[in-house]
Structure 1
């Protein structure tokens, strides 16, 4: 089961990234793949909520040795086959009367997402393809969900658990979003303080022929020898006769003795 390692765990659906030729787009879902101890088998738990707030769950066990095996649920399929192509590609085949009627591919994308493509056939022989994208959850939940499930069965227990899961996801997402915004708000003044610090170090290493006053605006220049000097004269007052190599910035001394750049 080494090849199954990357697939194991709980995956949360990106509803907006899916493409559905059959069925309706779900608004949330979890897809969980679990290895069965001491067996070459995997259990796939699924549940999802439709846009109409209908909840569905399913659970099935499949042998994962690449061979065709009888299905646990003959109403779903007569036989099932799981094949790991490599560590990032897995295929499920569902057979009826020795014919594949449902083919599900699992692909771990370079960004770590799980892409599930479901190719099936309606009773009238018309084919369809549904594609879904999931991201891996940090914690493993006691059950999973997806709209790509082969077995579809609504249960009261599944509805209750999925509603609780959805509420938990919404609350934690809101809390994390609040923290992210707080970090962004803190990052801006921190960047401004860092800029003032670097500017202040440059000014205090410059030549000062007078004592700067708090609140006063001064003008920082770079001299021909690449050193710096502070002046009361703005670059517009020098005209064409500016004696320095270049003008750097207009600066103001603050009460905490740091310097802030000001508009010229």
Structure 2
């Protein structure tokens, strides 16, 4: 099946490049084309999520020899044909009661994208044309595609995947939020440690005429010569402005021998 080679890939939907006149509108999608049965058939796997966050999944296989084959989705069609007229075109045609109800033309564009054009008839008898554009994926994503014109109901497999992914997203978002809060807490703790370290270095460089006691409040002053002094005397206890250049902070010695500013 040499002519099918260009189509064999997993294709990721470009929602912003799509136009829908009818059917389900996806917000993300994956359209996978594989060769099976020793290259005799093509298997199409379609996964997508709608704008309402509903998960859909469909899979069918066709022999691209132009013959009519049973359609695996009887609610859509009785039979389907597939043909590859050239290396850049693949056409699926769906029939219901021997009448054509949908044609899906796959075309490889000059930029390497895959364009799907759906021409069909709605249940009300109105004609419609939907267009989708995909880019080739390097790897297969587990979710999303389209086929906005094909009326396929949510499958059990699709809903299970959707519920699992929703639960996974909720759990990972919760875990990421917890980690974020832990990081913010660690950042605040690191900032407090840096402040205590800077204050402690200042105090241990100051003049201290007594042995400080744990949890006792002391008073740090800058002297007129620019040096520091740790004192037992509070600013309000000095007569006037006191014999110092300025009062810096009320401080307390902690059990780890660092100092912290207190109100």
Fold shared per TM-score above 0.5: yes
What is residue 200 of structure 1 aligned with on the other side?
Answer: none
Deviations 1:49-88 (A, max 9, x none): 1111111111111121121222233332111100101110
* Structure 2 unaligned residues grouped into runs of 5+: 170-263
Q: Secondary structure at the match of 1:67?
A: coil
State the match for 2:15 in structure 1: 15
Separation (CA, whole Å) in 2 of partners of 1:94 and 1:10: 22
1:200-215 alignment runs, 5 A limit: none
Gaps of 5+ in 1: 168-264
Asked whether the equivalents of residues 30 and 145 of structure 1 are also in contact (C-alpha less than 8 Å), the reply is yes
Rounded Cα–Cα distance in structure 2 between residues aligned with 1:144 and 1:51: 11
After TM superposition, the structure 1 = structure 2 runs for residues 242-257 of structure 1, keeping only pairs within 5 Å, are none
**Distance across 2 between alignment mates of 1:155 and 1:70:** 20
**Does the Cα contact within 8 Å between 2:25 and 2:146 map onto a contact in 1?**
no
Distance in 2 (CA, whole Å) between partners of 1:114 and 1:153 is 25
Aligned length in residues: 168
Contact 2:92-2:104 at 8 Å conserved across structures: yes
**TM superposition shift of 1:125:** 1.9
Question: Highest CA radius of gyration, 1 or 2?
Answer: 2
Deviation at 1:143, TM superposition (A): 7.5
Contact 1:118/1:131 (8 A) holds in 2 = yes
Secondary structure at the residue paired with 2:95? strand
CA distance 1:43–1:144, shift in 2 (3 Å): farther
Taking a change above 3 Å as real, the CA distance of residues 149 and 3 of structure 1, as seen in their structure-2 partners, is farther
User: By how many angstroms is 1:149 displaced?
Assistant: 6.4
Distance 2:26 2:129 in 1: 15
Partner of 1:154, secondary structure, is coil
Aligned to 2:46: 46
Show the counterpart of 2:106.
Answer: 106
1:13, distance to aligned residue in structure 2 (A)? 0.3
Closer/same/farther in 2, CA of residues 143 and 82 from structure 1, 3 Å limit = farther
Q: Structure 2 CA distance, aligned partners of 1:80 and 1:15?
A: 26
